[in-house]
Amino acid sequence: MLRRQFVIGTSLAVAAALGLSACGGGEDQEAGSKTLRVTLANHVWTDNIKKALPEFENQTGLKVELTQLGEDQLSDQYNVKLNAGSGDIDVMMYRPLQEGKLFAKNGYLADLTAKTKSNADWAWSDFQAGPVAATTYKDKVVGVPIITEQEVLYYRKDLLQKAGITAPPKTLDELKAAAAKVSAANPGVAGFVARTGKTAAVTQFSSFLYSFGGDFVDANGKATVNSPAAKQAYAFYGGLIKDLGPKNVSTDMGWPEAMAIFTQGKAAFYTEADSLYKNATDPAKSKVADSVGFAPFPAGPAGSKAYNVPSWALGVNAASENQDNAWKFIEWATSKTQTLANQKAGVPGARTSVWADPAGTSTYPKDLADAIAASTPTGVGHDRPLVVKVAAAREIVGQPIVDAITGKDAAASADAANTAFQTFLDSEK
Amino acid sequence: MSASTIESSARPLAPARATPTWSRWANDHRKWLFAAPAMAFVAVLIVFPVAWTVWLSLTDAEGSVRAEHSFIGLGNYLTVLTDTTRFWPAVLRTLEFTGGVLVVEVVLGMAIALLLWRPFRCEKWVRVAILLPLVATPVAVGMMWRLIFDPNIGLANTVLGWFGIGPQPWLAGEQSALPTTMLIDIWQWTPMVVLILLAGLTSLSDEPLEAALIDGAGAWQRFRHIILPLMMPTVIVAILLRGIDALKTFDILYATKGKGGGSFHEVETLNVYAYGLSFDYNEYGISSTVLIIFFLIIVGSMWVLTSRKKEAA
Amino acid sequence: MRARTPFTVFRVVALTVVVLTLIAPLVWMVAASLKTNVDIYDPGKALAFTPTLENYTKVLQQANYVDFIVNSLWIAFASTVLSLLIGVPAAYSMSRFAMRRSALVVLMARVIPAVSLLVPWYYVFSNLKMVGGFSVLILSHMFVALPLIVYIMMGYFDGLPLELEESALVDGLTPIGAFRRITLPLSTPGIATAGILSFIFSWNNFMFALVLSGADTKTLPVAIFDFVGYASIDWGGLMAASTVVTVPIMVIALFAQKYVVSGLTAGATKG
């Protein structure tokens, strides 16, 4: 008994000593304006910026305090902090299509219009028009796009060859036939995999929807997820996964789970954002790194219409008291040099000049660069409904996807989703 | 404890000094002097959030809590209580989860406690094993089980394979997800029930049991007619303590299925639903309403159990 | 000793099954943390694999885990000590003067759903310029620890005989003096139980830390979630991180086994 008390006493004393020493470093209350608080998502982009950060700190004499969070925790933190009107975030990495409208409407994002025009060398006009539109709210610039995404087809060259298929499928019908052929020839390998989670799948499903000739909302703002094209697209996407997807497929898969199946060699075709290609071609992460091929999104009845969107942007917290320095960081992180460096490291950016520069795509697999170039002209500027409450909208329009995957009546589900979506749209007006 | 009793009473006590006035005052008011800081602490941290939540539940607040919102009376309560797509299923899931894990944990816990009741060799190691799940960090536990229940690479399906049973979807299945999360809860918290019941068993007096043995009562009869009635208050305490936590389960559900409790909301309990309403949909009015109803459900079930405990005692 | 054979055999078998079921998942977690990601995906290498510390190096280097461990320790320690300071006297008063209704006020903290506290707390604390520091996390963890301590200590004081205090009063001590010199030393085991449990609960807390911690104050459970980031699903790293979170608290629990057990079972044996 005495001995045990001694042990506890010692460990508490150690804990206290450790704790006190931590306290000294942590609780400097008045973080002066020389300290910039930057909140970023876990992403390859963030890793690259982190490495280059000393350069920025030396140039400006500012100290950057970086918080890095997973996607979900990031939005939870924003929802609490910005909601409370807190100024302890200066620069924030956010998803223009997911939270952009909500944040802008709530006044969380500072107006950057004047700042974007202040420096001609930095060249705001160099940014692609689609992404810029997504970071503009009511004619005010509220963010600078940093990462762009398109949907492309990932496939396994070796499996296709083995099944006697010489070229990647050009249309969705060919994709279905090829997937069936490959999986028949390779037991244990699924013909096709893609995201299956109700909300996670919406963005990757969107290219299918557009290529069948549909969209979430029509020009008059009416819900159209039960149009004949949409019904076909739901049935096609769901059917592809149900019939040719992995066995025991879960309806929770986001990209990490779907990507894992592909990179473990358990699937022949995979439709996904190009910005994630490093996961498939990096031998440390992928078992099939040397046999991955890329192709433009296969054409449906309405042609090949992949989304082409800005997935992440940097904004300035409207409640920040350090907005000028925050802008300095953004200007540096989105400069041509940094954009090029990031793009070389596998993160597609939003600058036209970097895409035009051969160095910008020099590190890309050639077929991926070609696929991106081929689908840019027909790209659609959104990959989810453009509304304020995106999370809720994604749940509504995603329901028919999971219903189709689990073999329920996709058409009936699309009708129900359309009614619900219309009510939702009306409520936002 | 007996050792320390002797030690401290052996120590010479300080001679009584003339007591200054402030000390007399402190001694006269020690009841509240002692209790007040803790009560004030909780009250200060709780009053504003509760008042705020009640107020929001009567408004149409959405998007941001600082945005303009207007008073709409009990409108949210009407909306929530008539919502059969999300709210009532979440209530049912909460009750199913809580009821399910409580029944299994109490039955299993009683069985294990009975096995551990009489001393045996290696007792210490068994107790260590029982303690480990209990102190493990729930978020880490959630991650661990996600890997174990992975349909393709998980240990669970490998083990089933040894017995010739085909792979199961576990967390991934629409029907199997909730029972699977219940399994995780049972794994982590049955040990706590075991420890509580074991403490109860150890404090039982031997006489009634010996009398029953002499009367020739079988093991089951002794359990059913002697042990169980004597243990009833302890069982209710176990249910009470576990029940509050089970109703409020969040970490494991969030770590295994994420926001919204899966594509079909298959593990969306009231707590997960309220979290989603706040942080995913920014529907602060509705969210506050759900939280208040949820709070009333917890308090109500505690009240029922406490009164049962008084009856049983 | 009489019915040795059949029951003993059954008991050994049953307890073995119980112990295996409880331990196997944790062993699996540790095993996976010692595998490369390629081995994790290979069912053939479930048990036969070459262990590697690669995941741990990755976890400890990339994510400043040492800082997070120190944060978690400091927050758990400070919140436990402060809660004991105000919780133990309160429990004493509530036990001796049978203040059941006042006790309910404190226990309310355990009942209220944490979700309803997050936004209002953040709102208040950020206006007080407290967010991002340790104080707000310590306060929120005290909110978890305090009801636990009051509940356990009330049970403990209920069980302490009054006679000793009374004789101390006869010897000339004031009531507060009697509490300080007689009751407190007698309660060391109870205080240890309550303290260790509140330490464990604080260490394991996720929701408050998720929202209220800043760059410098992030705790371990929140840090694990960083591995589920945008860039990859890294099971090896996740399991290593989970092991890093779980092992310290398990070691503490093992050393303090007896107190933890009596703490968890507090109140169980009274009507």
Q: Do A66 and C215 touch (CB under 8 A)?
A: yes
Per-residue pLDDT tens over the stretch C78-88: 999 999 999 99
Domain ranges of chain C: 55-264
Q: Are B97 and B234 contained in the same domain?
A: yes
**Residue with the larger pLDDT of the pair B64 and C267:** B64
Confidence at residue B312, expressed as pLDDT on a 0 to 100 scale: 67
Confidence at residue B7, expressed as pLDDT on a 0 to 100 scale: 39
Domain ranges of chain A: 35-142+309-375, 150-307+381-428
Q: How far apart are CA C186 and CA B76, in angstroms?
A: 53
Strand partners, A192: A269
Per-residue pLDDT tens over the stretch B206-224: 888 888 888 888 888 889 9
Q: Do B281 and A105 touch (CB under 8 A)?
A: no
Q: Are B153 and B255 contained in the same domain?
A: yes
Region A109-119: mean pLDDT is: 94
Tell me how far apart the 2 most distant CA atoms of chain B are, in Å.
82
Q: Are B120 and B174 contained in the same domain?
A: yes
Q: Are B129 and B21 contained in the same domain?
A: no
Q: How far apart are CA A354 and CA A340, in angstroms?
A: 6
Q: Do A249 and B63 touch (CB under 8 A)?
A: no
Per-residue pLDDT tens over the stretch C23-79: 999 999 999 999 987 788 776 776 778 888 988 888 777 667 788 889 999 999 999
- Prediction pTM value: 0.85
What is chain C's mean pLDDT, rounded? 84
CB atoms inside a 10 Å sphere around CB A55: 12
- Residue B4 maps to a domain: no
Paired sense of beta strands A136-137 and A140-141, if any: antiparallel
Write C123-132 long-range contacts (CB < 8 A, 24+). C123/A83, C123/A84, C123/A85, C123/B65, C124/B48, C125/C212, C126/A81, C126/A84, C126/A85, C126/A86, C126/A87, C126/A88, C127/A84, C129/A29, C131/A81, C131/A86, C131/A88, C131/C212, C131/C214, C132/A88, C132/C214, C132/C215, C132/C216, C132/C217
Q: Do B63 and A106 touch (CB under 8 A)?
A: yes
**Residue with the larger pLDDT of the pair C185 and C129:** C185
A407 at C interface, C-beta within 8 A: no
Paired sense of beta strands A35-41 and A63-69, if any: parallel
**Residue with the larger pLDDT of the pair B4 and A401:** A401
What is chain B's mean pLDDT, rounded? 86
Q: Are B261 and B297 contained in the same domain?
A: yes
Q: Note whether A274 and A150 are within 8 A (CB).
A: yes
Instruction: Return the structure tokens found at B64.
Output: 């941001």
Whether residue A364 has pLDDT greater than 70: yes
| C 155-194 residues with CB < 8 A to A | 188, 192
Confidence at residue C269, expressed as pLDDT on a 0 to 100 scale: 56
Nearest-CA neighbor of A230 among A413, A380, A97, A394? A413
- Residue B2 maps to a domain: no
Token pair 């008991």 is found at C11
Confidence at residue A240, expressed as pLDDT on a 0 to 100 scale: 96
Q: Note whether B288 and B54 are within 8 A (CB).
A: yes
**CA distances to B12, B24, C40, C88 from C175, in Å:** 17, 10, 63, 15
Give B182's Cβ-side CA count (13 Å radius): 21
- Domain range A150-307+381-428, CATH architecture: 3-Layer(aba) Sandwich (3.40)
**Residue with the larger pLDDT of the pair A353 and A80:** A353
Per-residue pLDDT tens over the stretch B247-300: 999 888 988 888 788 888 999 999 999 999 988 888 999 999 999 999 999 999
Q: How far apart are CA A10 and CA A8, in angstroms?
A: 5
Range with the poorest average pLDDT among B132-141, C46-55, C139-148, C261-270: C261-270
Paired sense of beta strands A91-94 and A308-316, if any: antiparallel
Confidence at residue A420, expressed as pLDDT on a 0 to 100 scale: 95
Whether residue A2 has pLDDT greater than 90: no
Domain ranges, residue B48: 17-76
**SS3 at position A314:** strand
The most confident of A199-203, B115-119, C115-119, by mean pLDDT: A199-203
Q: Which fold has domain C55-264?
A: MetI-like fold (1.10.3720)
Q: Are B30 and B127 contained in the same domain?
A: no
Chain B residue with CA closest to C107: the answer is B42
- pLDDT above 70 as % of chain C: 90
Whether residue A4 has pLDDT greater than 70: no
- The total of structural domains in chain B comes to 2
Q: Read off the pLDDT band of A12 (50, 70, 90).
A: very low
Whether residue A27 has pLDDT greater than 60: no
Q: Which fold has domain A35-142+309-375?
A: D-Maltodextrin-Binding Protein; domain 2 (3.40.190)
Confidence at residue A31, expressed as pLDDT on a 0 to 100 scale: 42
- Residue B12 maps to a domain: no
Region A132-160: mean pLDDT is: 94
Pick C214's closest partner by Cβ from A12, A25, A67. Answer: A67
Pick B234's closest partner by Cβ from C46, C164, C269. Answer: C269
- pLDDT above 90 as % of chain B: 41
Set of chain B residues whose Cβ sits within 8 Å of the Cβ of A85: 66
Whether residue A363 has pLDDT greater than 70: yes
CATH number, residue B224: 1.10.3720.10
Confidence at residue A22, expressed as pLDDT on a 0 to 100 scale: 38
Q: Do C71 and A22 touch (CB under 8 A)?
A: yes
Whether residue A359 has pLDDT greater than 80: yes
Q: Read off the pLDDT band of C123 (50, 70, 90).
A: confident
Q: Are B21 and B59 contained in the same domain?
A: yes
Whether residue A204 has pLDDT greater than 70: yes
Region A314-330: mean pLDDT is: 94
Q: Read off the pLDDT band of B39 (50, 70, 90).
A: very high
Instruction: Return the structure tokens found at A43.
Output: 């992403």
Give A194's Cβ-side CA count (13 Å radius): 34
